[in-house]
Amino acid sequence: MADWWPIALFVCVIVVLMSGYPVAFVLAGTALIFAGLGLLFGVMDSSFIMLLPNRLYGIMINPTLMAVPLFVLMGILLEKSKLAESLLTALATVFGRFRGGMAIAVVMVGMLLAASTGIVGATVVTLGVLALPSMRKQAYDMKLATGCIAATGTLGQIIPPSIALVLLGDILSSTYQQVQLELGNFSPKTVSVGDLFAGAIIPGLLLVAAYVVYILVRGRGHQNVEAPSRDQTQPAISTREIVLALLPPLALMMLVLGSILSGLATPTEAAAVGAFGAALLALWRGNMSWYSWRACAVETLHITSMVFLILFGASLFSAVFYGLGGEDVVKQSLTQLPGGLMGATLFVMLLIFLLGFILDFIEITFVVVPIVAPVLFFMGLDPVWLGIMIAVNLQTSFLTPPFGFALFYLRGVVPSDVATTDIYWGVVPFICIQLLILVALAVWPQLATWLPSQLYG
C-alpha cells in the first residue's frame, strides 16, 4: 500500500496543474499536503520534514543558479536595444542572394537570440514580430515562414549558453554526485554546466545546419519562397553597417561561451560578463530611454522570480516524493522494463516528451529529472549524454502539434488571417529534423560526449 503514496502524489500534481493554477504553488502545496498525510498515517519519518528548510536554503546560496538572472538580463538587453532587429536586417542582406535568404537569416538570428535568452516564448514572439511581416511582404509560403520561426525559437533549449542547460547542469551534477557516493565512490566525478555546454555545441550546430539545408532545398523547389532583390524590399546596407550589426553581439557570445569552455570563468562569472557586455552594447546603440532600462530590470525580475518559485516548489515536491518512498518505486519500475538500460531510457524520453505538452522545461527539469535521473545513473548512463538528449527531446515536444508551447506563442503574434493549420503543417518538417538528430544522438552518443571529453578529460 505504501508504494501508492508517491504515485498518488505525482498524479495529483499533474491533475491540479491541468486546472491552470500556478505551477510553483501546485508543487509546493500538494507536496506539503501529502507530507502531512504521510506523517499522519506513518508513511513518512517525521525527521525528514526537518530537512526541507535546508533544501530551500541550499537553492538560495547555489552559485550556479546565480547565472540565471544574469543570462536573462543579457538576452532582454539584446532584445530591447534592437540589436536583434539589426542582426536580422544585416543577415537578410548577407543571405539575400539565396532563395529563402530571409528564412536563413531568421535561423541565424534565432540561434543567437535563443542562446542569449534561453526562453522559448521570448524568442518565438520576438522573431514573429520582427521577421514575419518581412517574410509575408516577400511572398513566403506561410507554412515555411511560421515553421521556421517556431522551430528556431526552440533552439534556446540546446544552443549554449542556454538557461535550460544551466538548470539541467545543476540538477544532473548534484544527482550524479549523490549516486556515486551511494555506490561507494568518495571522490565523485563532477558534471559541470560547462560539460553540458560543450556537449550541446555539435548537436546544436547540426540542428542549425539541417534547418538551413532544408530551407535551401525548399527554396530551389518552390518559387514562392524566393526572396526578392534587396532594393525592392529594404534600403541597401553597406558592408560597414553589416559588420557593425554582426560583430558586437557575436563577439559577446564568443566571449561568454569561450570563457566557460576554456575554464577561465564559471558560468555565473561568464553570465555577469555577458550581462555587463550587453549593457555596454545597449549604451552604444543609444536608443534606450530610462523607461526601457527599467523595463529590462522589471522583466528580468519577473522571469527570475518565476524560475526560483518553481524551483522552490519542485524541491519540496521531490523531497516529499523521496520521503514517501518514490525513489524505490521508480527504481523498481525502470529496472523491470524490458530492454534493460535501453528500455528504461526510451521510456523516460517518451515520458518527458509527453510531459512537455503540459509543462515548461523549468518544471520538467526540477520535477521529473531528479526523479528519473538517479535510477538511470545507477544503471550506468552518461550524465552529459542524458542532459543533451533531454534538451533536444523537450525542444521537439515544444514544437509538436497540437500542444506545443512554441505554437501557442507564435499563434498569439501572427495576424488572424494566418491559418493555425499553416503553423501546424509548417513545423512538421522541422520536427522530423529534430527527431533525426535525436536518433543520431542515440546511435552515436559521441556527438554529445566527444567534445566534453576532449576539453575536460
CA distance 320 to 34: 8
* CA 416 to centroid of chain Cα atoms: 28
Q: 214: domain range?
A: 4-456
- According to DSSP, residue 156 is labeled G
74 versus 231: the higher-pLDDT residue is 74
Given a cut of 60, is residue 386 above it in pLDDT?
yes
- According to DSSP, residue 140 is labeled -
- For residue 310, give Cα distances in angstroms to 3, 159, 178, 249, 356: 26, 23, 22, 31, 16
- CB-based contacts of 242: which residues, under 8 Å, 6+ apart? 90, 93, 94
Reported as a pLDDT band with limits 50, 70 and 90, residue 234 is low
Model pLDDT, residue 117? 58
Kindly report the three-state secondary structure assignment for every residue of 359-418.
CCHHHHHHHHHHHHHHHHHHCCCCHHHHHHHHHHHHHHHCCCCCCCHHHHHHHCCCCCCC
For 37-94, the pLDDT digits (tens) are 888 887 777 767 777 787 788 878 888 788 888 888 887 887 788 777 777 778 777 7
CA distance 263 to 258: 8
Q: Per the structure block, which three cell numbers stand in for 428?
A: 512538421
For 87-126, the pLDDT digits (tens) are 777 877 777 777 778 888 888 888 877 666 556 666 787 7
CA distance 401 to 408: 10
Reported as a pLDDT band with limits 50, 70 and 90, residue 231 is very low
Q: In a 10 Å sphere around its CB, with 0-12 CB exposed, 13-18 middle and 19+ buried, how is residue 221 labelled? A: exposed
Question: Rounded mean pLDDT of the chain?
Answer: 81
Mean pLDDT score, 317-332: 80
Model pLDDT, residue 227? 43
Model pLDDT, residue 27? 84
Whether the full predicted model's pTM is greater than 0.85, yes or no, is: no
Model pLDDT, residue 228? 44
For 259-288, the pLDDT digits (tens) are 888 878 888 888 888 889 989 988 988 888
Model pLDDT, residue 5? 84
What is the number of domains present in the chain? Answer: 1
* CA 154 to centroid of chain Cα atoms: 7
For 398-449, the pLDDT digits (tens) are 888 876 778 877 887 788 888 888 888 989 999 999 999 999 999 999 999 9
Reported as a pLDDT band with limits 50, 70 and 90, residue 203 is very high
Model pLDDT, residue 121? 66
Model pLDDT, residue 115? 63
Q: Which amino acid is at 123?
A: T
For 295-321, the pLDDT digits (tens) are 989 988 887 888 788 888 888 888 888
Listed range (52-61, 217-226, 330-339) with the worst mean pLDDT:
217-226
Model pLDDT, residue 389? 93
Mean pLDDT score, 233-258: 75
